[in-house]
Every structure is written in structure tokens, then in C-alpha cells.
């Protein structure tokens, strides 16, 4: 509803007409005191509309104005602060638990849809200003799109992504070694100040025995 007010003087006896965007909205009687008012219906579409008031007897006696009406179809629903957090490790089916949390206002009585990578997971009721829901997501090390959407207002939505743990990485065991401690015995002859052989190669666990055979006595 749009309320009109204007002043009049020297008007005809048959009242005045009101046009909205060139279309007749109604014919009204003058109040007789020069202070006129009327209420008309204008589309609530968030657009600007031209209103013309014209004397019913004198087409040259008119006035016009514009009004921008509110958008009556505009959504009042809002979903915000959407987060998705992985909770716990890999499960036996190689999925992980993900907790989805978000704030909402003006949501419909039908609740919201929770979607994963475009597919519907389920429909749930809002839990108030803050809502939390836990779902299973494939543990494949890939990013996944999570969407919360109002059941009755598809424009009321929010999205986030989460990259899950890769549960498919195979078990690996490596660098295993074992030793009894009884390796090869290597004998090196010390002849005065020479070693025979001069070079040897030993491995972990091998033993080296030194044998003094030269004329110079061993003192240490």
C-alpha cells in the first residue's frame, strides 16, 4: 500500500484519478478542504513506479511523483559462518567424520538441506541461531564441497570446502634389519710398523684381531 497526499485548488466536481505507471489505480473524491489523501496498491517489486494524480474534469490539471516500493519477494533467510571440520581419524570404510556448523536467521520451518559435492545428504531441522550436524565424507585426500540450503528458499544458501585425510595410503614397512652379532673375524698382522694386509673391509658385526709378529715389542 502506498499513501498519497497533495494539495488541491480549483478542482472539478468529479474528483481525481490516480494512475500508476500509466494504468488506472482508482478514482477518488476531493476532501473539499484542499488537503487530499488517498491509499493505493502498488506492486512490491523493489522497482521505481510513476504515480500521476489528475483532475477527472480537467486533463491539464495533474501532478506526478515516483516511489520505489520494497521487494516483497526478497528473502529474509540468511545462512552464515559455515565451517566444516574433520573430527576423528579414518573409519573402516575409509571415510572420515566431518562436523558442519553454521549460523542462521529467518530460516523456514521445513529446515535445511545438507549437500555434499552436489548430492543430497539429508534434510534436518534448524537447531536455533547456531546449528551443528556431523556427516561422513570420503577420506580420499580430495577437496569436497559442502552446501547448506534452506528447504523453502533455494536462494538462502552457503557453501564451504574441506580437504579430507587420505585414508587409502597403504601400510608400509621398511629399513628392517636383523643381526646375530657373530660376524666374520678379520686377522691383521702387525709386523714392526707395517700392517698386513694394509687394507681390509669389514661389515657391521665383524671382528678384527691384531697379531704382533715383528721384532719391535708391543708396549701398549
What's the pLDDT tens digit per position in 192-218? Answer: 778 888 888 888 778 888 888 877 776
Same domain, 82 and 158: yes
- Structural domain includes residue 173: no
Domain count, the chain: 3
- In whole angstroms, give the CA distance from residue 144 to residue 75: 27
- In whole angstroms, give the CA distance from residue 134 to residue 104: 17
3-state secondary structure of 191: strand
- In whole angstroms, give the CA distance from residue 3 to residue 40: 7
- In whole angstroms, give the CA distance from residue 120 to residue 142: 19
Q: Is residue 186 scored above 90 in pLDDT?
A: no
Helix (H) or strand (E) holding 178: none
Host domain of residue 201: 183-214
- Structural domain includes residue 176: no
Residue closest to 11 by CA, chosen among 43, 48, 55: 55
* Percent of the chain with pLDDT strictly greater than 70: 94
Least reliable range by pLDDT among 22-26, 38-42, 168-172: 168-172
In the predicted model, what is the mean pLDDT of the chain? 90
In the predicted model, what is the mean pLDDT of residues 45-60? Answer: 94
Q: What pTM does this model have? A: 0.50
Q: Is residue 181 scored above 60 in pLDDT?
A: no
- Structural domain includes residue 32: yes
Amino acid at each position: 500500500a502506498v499513501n498519497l497526499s497533495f494539495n488541491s485548488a480549483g478542482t472539478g466536481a468529479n474528483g481525481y484519478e490516480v494512475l500508476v505507471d500509466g494504468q488506472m489505480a482508482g478514482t477518488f473524491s476531493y476532501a473539499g478542504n484542499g488537503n487530499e489523501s488517498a491509499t493505493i496498491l502498488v506492486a512490491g517489486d523493489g522497482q521505481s513506479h510513476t504515480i500521476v494524480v489528475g483532475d477527472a474534469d480537467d486533463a491539464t490539471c495533474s501532478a506526478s511523483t515516483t516511489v520505489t516500493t520494497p521487494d516483497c519477494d526478497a528473502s529474509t533467510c540468511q545462512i552464515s559462518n559455515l565451517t566444516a571440520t574433520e573430527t576423528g581419524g579414518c573409519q573402516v570404510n575409509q571415510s572420515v567424520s566431518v562436523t558442519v556448523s553454521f549460523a542462521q536467521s529467518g530460516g523456514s520451518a521445513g529446515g535445511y538441506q545438507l549437500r555434499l559435492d552436489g548430492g543430497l545428504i539429508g534434510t534436518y531441522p534448524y537447531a536455533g541461531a547456531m546449528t551443528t550436524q556431523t556427516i561422513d565424507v570420503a577420506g580420499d585426500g580430495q577437496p569436497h564441497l559442502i552446501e547448506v540450503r534452506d528447504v523453502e528458499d533455494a536462494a538462502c544458501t552457503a557453501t564451504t570446502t574441506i580437504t579430507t585425510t587420505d585414508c587409502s595410503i597403504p601400510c608400509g614397512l621398511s629399513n628392517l634389519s636383523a643381526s646375530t652379532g657373530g660376524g666374520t673375524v678379520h686377522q691383521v698382522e702387525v709386523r714392526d710398523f707395517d700392517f698386513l694386509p694394509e687394507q681390509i673391509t669389514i661389515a657391521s658385526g665383524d671382528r678384527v684381531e691384531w697379531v704382533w709378529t715383528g721384532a719391535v715389542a708391543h708396549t701398549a
